[in-house]
Copies of this chain bind each other. A is one copy, B any other.
Amino acid sequence: MYDIGRGKRAEKAYGLDDVAIVPTKRTRDIDDVDLTWKIDAVTLDFPLIAAPMDSIMSPDTVIEVGRLGGLGVLNLEGLWTRYEDPEPVLTQLAAITDPLAATRKLQQVYSAPIIPELIDRRLGQIRAAGVPFAASLSPKNGRQHAEQVVAAGVDFLVIRGTTVSAQHVSSTTDPLDLKRFIHDLDVPVIVGGCANYHTALHLMRAGAAGILVGFGGGARRATRNVLGIEVPMATALSDAAAARGDYLDESGGRYVAVIADGSIGSSGDIAKAVACGADAAMVGVPFARAVEAPGAGYHWGPEAWHPTLSRGLRVHFDTIGSLEEILVGPSSVADGSMNLVGALKRTLASTGFTDVKSFQKAELVLV
């Protein structure tokens, strides 16, 4: 604890930029590295989840990510459930270059109502492809659409908000009782974002199959400027990993996945997130650079279209390759935005590890 002044103390918290992985005395063959991981009953090829953002995840790209071995998540409160045909809307958005005009247009197009029938149709399309997939709802809409989502055959329901607590207090509404909600549901639930040990532990106790750590959505700087809130990811993951261990003990063996969500811009960040204790990373930015990305070079999250308090910018990224190249290579760029899976394998091999779980024990330094 440091003294901010006579009236306030604070702990130091670290972001992924503050840490680096250091090699050890052993190295491994890259062919010996196995990136598979298990969450609830599902085993996936590598620990990457594509974030539920309209700029990257459409039914088609959710299918493609699943086909490649990852997990795609469709946002059920996005354009695909508000518009019979969202393509013209996406085209209009891609034609706007001014950031302020873009935000206003986002606020407008997302004011269209959610059409429940479209939820069935979009999820049905993905399910028909036979790949693992997930769908997301905000805490506010969780109850309303959850049964419908379960019926559609998703592998996971993701409940994702800027901050989700296991203890939401309201004097006027009847907030979502996460524990009962999760208990009553027939699919495993991934829930977040959360930011510290206690919230993580509470979400685990509420029955989550996985928890999202962080704020998600690329909105870190905006959240800092608008709300003054910030969750340095290295510290948040380390705290959540400690909660996972304590909950494993208190629950007699239930292992809840810790998923980094936000602040993940490169393959190096993914490696650091795991080395800080994550089981997987929910990623947005790298997918926004794919040829197939619905955003056509633009990237935005739900916080960008809030009707009265936009807290995220629509950001432009150059398109660099196919979803396949971005996930499994080959890569001709040296900035960590391509061949995410190959890079993670390389990091493990270079530092002497062969699986994700043991790599959580990799040595870090503060830089």
Complex Cα gap A330–B11 (Å): 34
- Per-residue CB contact flags for chain A residues 332-367 toward chain B (1 = under 8 Å, else 0) read 111110010011001100111000000000011111
Complex Cα gap A195–B332 (Å): 26
On whether A229 and B22 interact (CB within 8 A), knowing A6-B242, A10-B366, A12-B366, the answer reads yes
On whether A231 and B330 interact (CB within 8 A), knowing A169-B352, A226-B266, A267-B225, the answer reads no
* Chain B residues with CB under 8 A of A41: none
- Per-residue CB contact flags for chain A residues 306-320 toward chain B (1 = under 8 Å, else 0) read 011111110000001
* Interchain CB contact under 8 A, A168 and B28: yes
Q: Does A241 contact B (CB under 8 A)?
A: yes
* Interchain CB contact under 8 A, B350 and A331: no
Q: Does A230 contact B (CB under 8 A)?
A: yes
* Interchain CB contact under 8 A, B165 and A242: no
* Interchain CB contact under 8 A, B25 and A364: no
* Chain B residues with CB under 8 A of A367: 13, 15, 230, 232
Considering the complex, give the chain B residue whose CB is closest to the CB of A343. Answer: B226
Nearest chain B CB to A190 CB, angstrom units: 18
* Interchain CB contact under 8 A, A4 and B238: yes
Q: Does A180 contact B (CB under 8 A)?
A: no
Q: Does A87 contact B (CB under 8 A)?
A: no
Nearest chain B CB to A81 CB, angstrom units: 23
Q: Does A329 contact B (CB under 8 A)?
A: yes
Considering the complex, give the chain B residue whose CB is closest to the CB of A197. Answer: B6
* Interchain CB contact under 8 A, B163 and A27: yes
* Interchain CB contact under 8 A, A7 and B239: yes
* Among A11, A27, A171, A235, residue most surrounded by chain B Cβ atoms (within 10 Å): A27
- Per-residue CB contact flags for chain A residues 216-247 toward chain B (1 = under 8 Å, else 0) read 00010011111111111011111111110100
* Chain B residues with CB under 8 A of A24: 165, 196, 198-199
Complex Cα gap A206–B350 (Å): 19
* Chain B residues with CB under 8 A of A196: 22-25
* Interchain CB contact under 8 A, A235 and B27: no
Nearest chain B CB to A35 CB, angstrom units: 14
Nearest chain B CB to A102 CB, angstrom units: 9
Q: Does A44 contact B (CB under 8 A)?
A: no
Flag the segment in A65-73, A152-160, A249-257, A270-278 that touches B.
Answer: A270-278
Nearest chain B CB to A237 CB, angstrom units: 7
On whether A226 and B276 interact (CB within 8 A), knowing A19-B4, A164-B27, A236-B5, the answer reads no
On whether A234 and B169 interact (CB within 8 A), knowing A23-B229, A228-B267, A347-B227, the answer reads no
* Interchain CB contact under 8 A, A365 and B168: no
Q: Does A297 contact B (CB under 8 A)?
A: no
* Interchain CB contact under 8 A, A165 and B25: yes
On whether A350 and B229 interact (CB within 8 A), knowing A170-B28, A309-B330, A334-B312, the answer reads yes
Q: Does A268 contact B (CB under 8 A)?
A: yes
On whether A225 and B336 interact (CB within 8 A), knowing A23-B199, A169-B27, the answer reads yes
* Interchain CB contact under 8 A, B32 and A171: yes
On whether A25 and B235 interact (CB within 8 A), knowing A334-B312, A365-B13, the answer reads no
Q: A2-B366, A226-B343 are in contact. List 7 more A-B contacts (CB 8 A).
A: A7-B241, A10-B19, A27-B163, A226-B334, A226-B346, A227-B271, A312-B334
